[in-house]
Structure 1
Amino acid sequence: MVVCGDDALAYRLVHELSGVYGTHVTALVSSLERNHAPRIAELGLLPGVSVTVLEALDPDEATLRAAGVDRAVAVALTYGDDQTNIHAALRARRLNPDVRLVIRMFNRKLGRHLGEMLERASAARSPQPRRSDIDASITVLSDADTAAPALVAAAVVGSSKVVQADGLLLRAAERPVGSEGSRPHLCTLALLPDPVTDLSRDDPGSDPQLLPDDAAVNAADGGRSRVVLEAITRRPGPAVPRRRLPRGLPMRELFSRRLRWTVAGLAILQGLFAVLTWQVSGGAPLRAAYLSMLDLLSLGDPALGEPTGRQVLQLLSGLSGMALLPVLFAIVVEALGAFRNATALRLPPRGLSGHIVLLGLGKVGSRVLDRLHALDIDVVCVEQDPQARGVVLARSLRVPVIIGDATQEGVLEAAKIGRSRALLALTSSDSTNLEAALYARESKAELRVVMRLFDDEFATVVSRTLRASYPQATTRSRSVSTLAAPAFAGAMMGRQILGAIPIERHVLLFAAVDVRGLLELEGRTIAEAFQPGAWRVLALDLAEPAERRPDLSATPENGPAAREPELAWEVPSGYVLRPEDRVVLAATRHGLARLLRHAGQSAHSTS
């Protein structure tokens, strides 16, 4: 395996491939002294791990050849720049037409076109059909897209986790042991430790038990909780394009509350003057209203020779009209200011509450903002860099943005953190995220906090400390690279990863695999294929092998040829898996690695 890149994702990916899957990895870094290259080099010193590190400023053809791309099984391109990954992908495919490519792309549309172009180029270059034992697939992934569902779910519903793939929504939720809940569930994904007795323990017993069998669930203590796969639904149709402008500018945004009350008071007073004028002067009601309006604007003739009541009303109307001019001026000024702000960054509206404060509008923050907006959840963003890529997205979605450092006093207050329901701290700095989370907790102790932290040990200590300090609040720490690396590693191993669900500090993978060649699945029943703590069969693809969608994680294109994958999620436990079957698994990282290693050994012995 060849991994090109030296950031956090590259480090996690090298660690995953070498430590979990046991494969030899060649890491191509731009400098041995910058970013995470030193940590990647340290992996090669661990016992039983085979990692080679090469230094090259640019992934040109000579560099890729020196890294062994022409002999590699799979190549991962994890540079932070999409253009660099595109150039490297074209060179790698030219050196080795049969290499499996996993490309990191932030631009999803461009990534899809790139994959189609490389597939067509490979077909045109090789008129002979490729051997069936060669998997030269091209997978385009985004670490931000992979991690965004888990981050959004942690902020919106606290303990729930979701995976979205190919119109499917897999929901995992916490339930007390013995409670069935309002919705039926398919299986138990994990047993969580007791939050009281295991809160501050560091021994292995405090870790969650992943993919337990029925006996372990029935024997679990009543104080524990479990994570169950709650529902699977299909995404309804194509997304409706969002409006770039709000449907209507509300009066509370156009005019301040004080100004609205002032205008309402003048209107009520004018109505009272009209009624009194009608009673004193007589005549038609419309004529009385007209006369009172002329008096208010000081445009009417003096009420000489008329009854005393009429004269008094004229004087009172004139005095009231003196307050009308500044009110009209204030209306014009506030209206101009509101429309000026409509073309710039929007500020949090007055009276906003129950929203989510999103800190950081980089790659990850942009994806999270997009998902929150799609769910019709109110968001207030805080970003220090006005040129960040997510600021443009926030402006187009009409989402309020505060430009400033969240660690400075007054910035989170401007985002109305005291009225919010959750804080998502997603900057690239662990210290900034932690400082903002602590400051937010001081403002609102019960606030739900989700932090993006890279260091797993540091994140574990922070989470447990915050839970002990604020037992009534929800605290979650997530690492984007940790959530994304299993999906990248699984794609490099030749299996389609549908998504990942975090369970405490662990990750469960959802993968679509072919049964052929997997000794632990082929010829076994669904019950016999279940390995507690390793993997579990969730669904069966009912489509014929020739009609199956090659990529279950891709969104179906519109058109008459498009079809939804025919997945059966309640497969009888006595069903015997055939070689031509394809199944969807829930697996731990080590379980999937063991399954794929055995498959590779079986294929090697057969050949």
Structure 2
Amino acid sequence: MHPPPSSNQKKTQDLFLVCGLKSLGQHCVAILKEYDVKVSAIEDVQPEHWEVPEVPNLLEKLIVGDCRQPSILEQAGIRQCRSILLVTRNERINIEAAFAARRLNPQVRLIVRSDKQNFNKLLWENLGNFVAFEPTHLSAHAFALTALGSEAIGYFTLEGQLLQVIKHQVQAKDNWCNGKPVHRLNLTTRRILSHKPVSSKPLKELFGWNPEAEVQVGDTLVYIDVAYDLAFSEQRRQSHNQKWQLQQFIQGITAKNLKDKIVQFWQSYYQSQNQIRRIATIYAITVLILWFVGIVLYRLYYPDITIQEAFYATAVLLLGGYGDLFGGVEFAAQSKPSDDIPWWLRLFSLGLTLTGQAFVGVLYALLTDALVTSRFHFFNSRPPTPQRNHLIIIGLNRLGQKVAALLQELNQPLVGIHPTTLDQETLPDMPLVVGNATEALIKANLSHAKSIILVGDDNMENLEIGLMAHAMNPATTLIIRSQDRQFSDNVAPLFPYAQVICGAALAAEVFACAAFGENVLSLFHLNEQIVMVTEYKIEDGDTLNGLLLSEIASGYSVVPILYQKYQQDNYFLMPWYDVKLDAGDRLIVLATSTSLQRIEWGEMLPRQWSVQIEKALTTNAIMYGAEEIVLITGCSSTTARQWMNNLPRVLPIPLYKHQAQRLVRELSKVQVLANLIFIGQP
């Protein structure tokens, strides 16, 4: 971060250079201008189509040429630039231009469009003040979360812990929140982002909700909490369900229904197996029974032989050795010649041999079937298409593959549709339907699908397939990718059942914010706004240094979710707002683009409230009350004690509403009577 510029410097100090004016570059220009800064651009050819029509009027200067050339960068003012955004569609050009820009301006911040993660890390370590993003990865999260169709509207990981953003409409059965003041819902693992009463409009500010309002049925709560490892939780749940089902099956067995239970187990266990495996199982059981009977008969008829000899003799017969035992050779260890064996025992021995030979034939068939099946799976090892409540992804390009990977991480059943087959190494655990999308929808069980995601590279084709899918299953959630903001703006109002997402517009928010030094970790949608998970490293003299977290939260409309003290290993998720920031501290917040602009310029919202303290009910209340004032307002202990020793009085310090309300609540706990006063803008 940088210290806030003075008012007369805002429009003259910062120059930002955008290289590449395709879709992403144009959106970056439009968003940067919202920060009231100068923006110039370089494009290799004069643009013929402006996806964002106002861009030509927003640019200070447009240079046509190769952004890798030092002379072109000089013309664009690289030496005066604060940041350069290299967002052409060629990674090689972007990285080479980054080298040229850094050589001409060692202080310029480099924001590069690149997917070479290892190389990007090396560049960051060697160049410094360097950050790289891939638009596909940034927008993939938005598509994946929209497709879930659940209360979760955001997922991201901090320090190895998975956090989720939930949008929940309060039900009568929600004892955890129904009828309680909003401020009581904040925990060490949960933080309220928004509370919208049932009859009100969505809030524009993250911190615009009233902490004292009681949550009622029909209200909408948006909160962030720690979800830990969802994959592990899902596996544990499935394992628990399997154990529970087996336990219920065993407990349900009685003497009367034993036969029915065996039949039920047989049918359920082999319902997915072929007929030859059933026959093999029957033969195996038969052979074991005959083996046991043969041992008993030979032992009874020949008392002089041992059980071991009877065991091996029966085994030889089962393996086709009838001729070895009865073909003129005397029976091993027998006391009588073989021709003294009764006819029925000879016949039984022949039956053993025939049965054994048949069993060997079945084993050969089973092995052949296994080899053929394994060879088939070698060429096509993808799992079968889910039957219901799954997601369908049409167009497995880079974006589609990234969306699929994210959904698999969240254990979502899905199936992909693509014109051609994919490599086995590409999403091997995802079912795939190959062919024309319109014909493949039936094979993908669209009639029972939960969501369909169209991320192809052709806007009109995505729309056509989307409308067709909606006609086949109006209940499914429809998410359509658009590469043109004008297309999105025109189509979205005409088809309200479809959610049209422009990936370039999403990614541009992150690129623009990164140009000011912020480290954007993730993003999600809330109330038609993009909320970014943004990391700050506090520096001397910047706009956050020396402020309480409560002041930062209310003054800039952000939500602090992680705080780490300088040179300390431990960190705090959902930190309490009484912490004061110092240089070197680390802070991660949820913020909209407007909030980040406020932080950039140090323009805090006005403090319009104060607290009137009537009296302290006990002597100790004066001391405890002073401690609460110090903790919540950040004033000195001496000043707080002076105020508490001269009651009643209005505290001569303006506060934000959340601060003032919390101070009143905490004072009441230590037996100090106080109330809120609206003092207007100071």
**TM-score, with structure 1 as normaliser:** 0.69
Residue 125 of structure 2 aligns with an amino acid whose one-letter code is E
Q: Percentage identity across aligned positions?
A: 17
Residue 231 of structure 1 aligns with an amino acid whose one-letter code is V
Match of 1:87 in 2: 96
Tell me, yes or no, if the aligned pair for 1:526 and 1:572 is still in contact at 8 Å.
Answer: yes
Query: Is the alpha carbon distance of 1:421 and 1:67 closer, same or farther for their aligned partners in structure 2, counting shifts above 3 Å?
Result: same
Give the distance between the partners of 2:67 and 2:424, measured in 1 at CA: 30
Per-residue deviation, residues 253-280 of structure 1 (Å, max 9, x unmatched): 9x95344334323334444554666677
Match of 2:54 in 1: 43
Would you say 1:257 and 2:274 are equivalent positions?
yes
Q: Where does structure 1 lack aligned partners over 5 or more consecutive residues?
A: 120-136, 198-204, 237-251, 467-475, 548-562, 601-607
Deviation (angstroms), 1:94: 1.7
Q: Secondary structure at the match of 1:172?
A: strand
Give the distance between the partners of 1:70 and 1:174, measured in 2 at CA: 46
Match of 1:242 in 2: none
Q: Secondary structure at the match of 2:496?
A: helix
Query: Is the alpha carbon distance of 1:409 and 1:420 closer, same or farther for their aligned partners in structure 2, counting shifts above 3 Å?
Result: same
Q: Secondary structure at the match of 1:38?
A: coil
Deviation (angstroms), 1:173: 0.8
The 5-angstrom pairing of residues 137-176 of structure 1 reads 137-155=129-147, 158-160=150-152, 161-165=154-158, 167=160, 169-176=162-169
Give the distance between the partners of 1:102 and 1:363, measured in 2 at CA: 21
Q: Secondary structure at the match of 1:335?
A: helix
Per-residue deviation, residues 390-442 of structure 1 (Å, max 9, x unmatched): x46526xx4245262461424662x5667776555443344555566666667
The 5-angstrom pairing of residues 59-208 of structure 1 reads 59-119=68-128, 137-155=129-147, 158-160=150-152, 161-165=154-158, 167=160, 169-177=162-170, 179=174, 180=176, 184=187, 186-191=190-195
The 5-angstrom pairing of residues 317-356 of structure 1 reads 318=354, 325=361, 328-329=364-365, 331-339=367-375, 341-342=377-378, 344=379, 346-349=381-384
Deviation (angstroms), 1:221: 6.2
Residue of structure 2 aligned with 1:428, choices 442, 449, 457? 457
Give the distance between the partners of 1:299 and 1:444, measured in 2 at CA: 70
Matched positions, count: 515
Tell me, yes or no, if the aligned pair for 1:75 and 1:99 is still in contact at 8 Å.
Answer: yes
Give the distance between the partners of 1:417 and 1:108, measured in 2 at CA: 36
Tell me, yes or no, if the aligned pair for 1:64 and 1:92 is still in contact at 8 Å.
Answer: yes
Tell me, yes or no, if the aligned pair for 2:284 and 2:359 is still in contact at 8 Å.
Answer: no
Q: Secondary structure at the match of 1:39?
A: coil
Tell me, yes or no, if the aligned pair for 1:193 and 1:208 is still in contact at 8 Å.
Answer: no
Query: Is the alpha carbon distance of 1:186 and 1:256 closer, same or farther for their aligned partners in structure 2, counting shifts above 3 Å?
Result: closer
Would you say 1:465 and 2:497 are equivalent positions?
yes
Q: Secondary structure at the match of 1:409?
A: helix
Deviation (angstroms), 1:76: 0.9
Give the distance between the partners of 2:88 and 2:197, measured in 1 at CA: 38
Q: More deviation in 431-440 or 145-154? A: 431-440
Tell me, yes or no, if the aligned pair for 2:546 and 2:582 is still in contact at 8 Å.
Answer: yes
Per-residue deviation, residues 470-529 of structure 1 (Å, max 9, x unmatched): xxxxxx65443333222211110222223222125321123234476566x566544444
Per-residue deviation, residues 574-603 of structure 1 (Å, max 9, x unmatched): x55567765433222123223324579xxx
Per-residue deviation, residues 103-134 of structure 1 (Å, max 9, x unmatched): 12212111111222323xxxxxxxxxxxxxxx
Per-residue deviation, residues 58-95 of structure 1 (Å, max 9, x unmatched): 64333333333333221111233322221111111122
Match of 1:402 in 2: 432
Tell me, yes or no, if the aligned pair for 2:562 and 2:589 is still in contact at 8 Å.
Answer: no
Give the distance between the partners of 1:462 and 1:298, measured in 2 at CA: 85
**TM-score, with structure 2 as normaliser:** 0.62
The 5-angstrom pairing of residues 442-461 of structure 1 reads 451-454=480-483, 455=485, 456-457=488-489, 460-461=492-493
Tell me, yes or no, if the aligned pair for 2:386 and 2:414 is still in contact at 8 Å.
Answer: no
Residue of structure 2 aligned with 1:507, choices 527, 530, 545? 530
Match of 2:575 in 1: 570
Tell me, yes or no, if the aligned pair for 2:138 and 2:506 is still in contact at 8 Å.
Answer: yes
Residue of structure 2 aligned with 1:535, choices 548, 553, 557? 557
Residue of structure 2 aligned with 1:5, choices 8, 12, 20? 20
Tell me, yes or no, if the aligned pair for 1:177 and 1:217 is still in contact at 8 Å.
Answer: no
Give the distance between the partners of 1:313 and 1:43, measured in 2 at CA: 96
Query: Is the alpha carbon distance of 1:50 and 1:81 closer, same or farther for their aligned partners in structure 2, counting shifts above 3 Å?
Result: closer
Query: Is the alpha carbon distance of 1:373 and 1:308 closer, same or farther for their aligned partners in structure 2, counting shifts above 3 Å?
Result: same
Give the distance between the partners of 1:392 and 1:88, measured in 2 at CA: 36
Per-residue deviation, residues 335-392 of structure 1 (Å, max 9, x unmatched): 24424643x55321488877655444433334344445555666544433557xxx46
Q: More deviation in 66-75 or 359-368? A: 359-368
Tell me, yes or no, if the aligned pair for 1:511 and 1:585 is still in contact at 8 Å.
Answer: yes
Give the distance between the partners of 1:70 and 1:261, measured in 2 at CA: 79
Match of 1:27 in 2: 41
Give the distance between the partners of 2:545 and 2:482, measured in 1 at CA: 40
Give the distance between the partners of 1:566 and 1:51, measured in 2 at CA: 43
Give the distance between the partners of 2:313 and 2:449, measured in 1 at CA: 52
TM-align CA RMSD: 4.7
Per-residue deviation, residues 212-268 of structure 1 (Å, max 9, x unmatched): 4342882776323221112286999xxxxxxxxxxxxxxx99x95344334323334
Query: Is the alpha carbon distance of 1:261 and 1:61 closer, same or farther for their aligned partners in structure 2, counting shifts above 3 Å?
Result: farther
Match of 2:398 in 1: 363
Tell me, yes or no, if the aligned pair for 1:190 and 1:209 is still in contact at 8 Å.
Answer: no
Query: Is the alpha carbon distance of 1:457 and 1:268 closer, same or farther for their aligned partners in structure 2, counting shifts above 3 Å?
Result: farther
Tell me, yes or no, if the aligned pair for 1:273 and 1:317 is still in contact at 8 Å.
Answer: no
Per-residue deviation, residues 149-173 of structure 1 (Å, max 9, x unmatched): 4444445573311233554543211
Give the distance between the partners of 1:465 and 1:74, measured in 2 at CA: 40
Match of 1:228 in 2: 223
Give the distance between the partners of 1:535 and 1:259, measured in 2 at CA: 68
Residue 404 of structure 1 aligns with an amino acid whose one-letter code is V
Residue 348 of structure 1 aligns with an amino acid whose one-letter code is P
Q: Secondary structure at the match of 1:174?
A: strand
Q: Secondary structure at the match of 2:131?
A: strand
Query: Is the alpha carbon distance of 1:167 and 1:488 closer, same or farther for their aligned partners in structure 2, counting shifts above 3 Å?
Result: farther
Give the distance between the partners of 1:351 and 1:271, measured in 2 at CA: 40
Residue of structure 2 aligned with 1:213, choices 203, 208, 212? 208
Give the distance between the partners of 2:528 and 2:505, measured in 1 at CA: 9
Give the distance between the partners of 1:33 and 1:193, measured in 2 at CA: 47
Give the distance between the partners of 1:426 and 1:299, measured in 2 at CA: 71
Tell me, yes or no, if the aligned pair for 2:29 and 2:55 is still in contact at 8 Å.
Answer: no
Tell me, yes or no, if the aligned pair for 2:120 and 2:132 is still in contact at 8 Å.
Answer: yes
Residue of structure 2 aligned with 1:587, choices 573, 587, 591? 591
Q: Secondary structure at the match of 1:498?
A: strand
Residue of structure 1 aligned with 2:317, choices 274, 278, 291? 291
Query: Is the alpha carbon distance of 1:372 and 1:382 closer, same or farther for their aligned partners in structure 2, counting shifts above 3 Å?
Result: same
Match of 1:202 in 2: none
Q: Which has the larger radius of gyration?
A: 2
Give the distance between the partners of 1:530 and 1:155, measured in 2 at CA: 31
Query: Is the alpha carbon distance of 1:433 and 1:206 closer, same or farther for their aligned partners in structure 2, counting shifts above 3 Å?
Result: farther
